[in-house]
Amino acid sequence: MDGSAHDVTLDESFDILRDPYPMFAARRAQAGVFKGSVMDWRNAVEFMPENIYAAVSFDAVNRVFRDSRMFNSEIYDNTVGLFIGPSILAMEGKVHREHRNLVSAAFKTKSLARWEPEIVRPVVNTLIDEFIDAGNADLVRDFTFEFPTRVISKLLGLPEEDLSWFRTRAVALISYHVKYKRAFEASAELKDYFIKQIDLRRSAPTEDIIGDLVSAEIDGEKLTDEAIYSFLRLLLPAGLETTYRSSSNLLYLLLTHPDQFTAMQNDRDLIGPAIEEGLRFETPLTTVQRSATEATELDGVEIPQGAVIDVCIGSANRDESRWEASETFDIFRKRVPHISFAAGEHTCLGLHLARMETRVALECLLDRLTNIEMHDDGDPHIHGQPFRSPNVLPVTFEPV
C-alpha cells in the first residue's frame, strides 16, 4: 500500500487474515512508521480515512499510547461509540481520569480476590463438567467462547435465566461492523435492561460490578446512569471478545508446541510466563487507532493534524529490536513486557481480570484433563485481522 488516499492495494503475497505477521515484519524492516495502513480496506473503502499512517515498531506504538495529548482516541466516538455511548474508551484528559477513577472501583483488588474462588473457578469447572465424559471437545465452542460470557454475567450480578438473552445481544453489539442495524437495536435493548438493573441496586445495594458502579463516589461525584450503562456495554466487547480470543490463542499455541505444553503441565510456575508469551506472540487485537490532535513527528515521519494512526500492537509485540527470536513462541524466554493491554492513560482496565481468568482456565484444564491432543479436524488455525483467534480447537483427552 502506498498510502495515497483510498488506495487499498495490498501485496497479494501476504495473506493478512491467515497470518499478518510477515507483512508486519516487512513494514518494520522499512520503517517504524509509514504512510498507509496495516488494515485491509478493500471491502470497506468508503470508511477508509483520507489521511492514514501506521505505527509498527514497539517504540512508535509505545509513544502513541503514552502521549494521549498528541494522539487521542476520540475517533472511537464515531465507531464503537455510536453503539455503546460515551465511555472511557474515547475520553481524554481530566474527564477521562475522573471517569476512570470512578469505574475502576468495580475492579478493585479485593473484588478480584473474591471473584476467583466464588465465580471464575466454579464457572470454568462447570463448563468442563459439560464435556469431560465425552473424551473429546472443541475447546473454542465448548470452553473459551463460553466461559468469559458466563463469568461477566455473574460479575454483573445478572440472573441465570437472563444469560441467553444477554449473550445474544452481547454478540450483536460486538458484531456492529457486520450488522450495524441489529447492533443499534441490541444497544437500545441493553440500555433498557441495564437501567432496570441499576434501579434495582439503588433500592437494594449488591456486591457485584453494577452495584459497585452505582455506589462509586469520589469527592462527592457519582456516575450518571448513562455513564454506567455505557461502561457496561463497553465491557461486552472488552471483556468477552478479547478474553475468549486470547485464551483460545494460548491454548492453540501450547497444543501446537507440545514440548512447552508438557513443561507447563509439569511446572505450574510456567503458567504465568505462558500467558504473557501468548499475549505477546498472538495478541487478540492486533491494531487499534488514534488520531493526531496537531501536526507532529513520529519516528522521523511528519504526521499532519487530524491524521488517523493505525497503532499496530501485533507488530510492536514482535519487534526484533526488543525480543530475541521475536517470531518464535517461547514460554521460557526472558520476560520483557509486551504492549497487548496498551499503555499510558488508556491501559486496559480489565487486564488483571483477563490474566486471572486465563490462569484459572488453564489450571482447571490441567487439573482435570490429561493426554490432551489437538487434531486436524476443521483445519485449526489462528486467523483474523484485527481480531485474531482459532476457528476450532478439536481435542481428545482423558479425565484425570
Question: Domain limits of the chain?
Answer: 21-399
Instruction: Provide the pLDDT confidence category of residue 100 given band limits of 50, 70 and 90.
Output: low
Specify whether the CB–CB gap between 243 and 140 falls below 8 A. no
Query: Which pLDDT band holds residue 227 (cuts at 50, 70, 90)?
Result: confident
State residue 6's pLDDT score. 44
- For residue 263, give the H/E element and its range: helix 258-266
Q: Mean pLDDT check: name the lowest of 6-20, 118-132, 145-159, 242-256.
A: 6-20
Give the residue-averaged pLDDT of 306-310. Answer: 95
* pLDDT confidence of residue 5: 41
Q: Are 158 and 196 in contact (CB under 8 A)?
A: no
Could you tell me which residues come within 8 angstroms of residue 175 by beta carbon, excluding any fewer than 6 positions away?
A: 182, 183
Pairing of strands 308-312, 52-55: parallel
CA distance 148 to 123: 9
What values do phi and psi take at 311, rounded to 5?
A: -100, 100
The helix (H) or strand (E) run that includes residue 26 is helix 21-30
| Residues contacting residue 147 through CB under 8 Å, at least 6 positions apart | 123, 124, 127, 244, 247, 357, 361
Question: What pTM did the predictor assign?
Answer: 0.90
Mean pLDDT estimate for the chain:
88
DSSP state, 208? S
The architecture CATH gives domain 21-399: Orthogonal Bundle (1.10)
Element (H, E) at 162: none
Q: What is the pLDDT of residue 76?
A: 64
Residues 260-288 have a mean pLDDT of 97
Query: At residue 182, what is the residue type?
Result: R
Residues 218-225: what's their mean pLDDT? 80
Cell of residue 255, nine digits? 497444543
Above 90 in pLDDT, residue 32?
Answer: yes
Q: What is the pLDDT of residue 79?
A: 61
pLDDT category at 161 given cuts 50, 70, 90 is confident
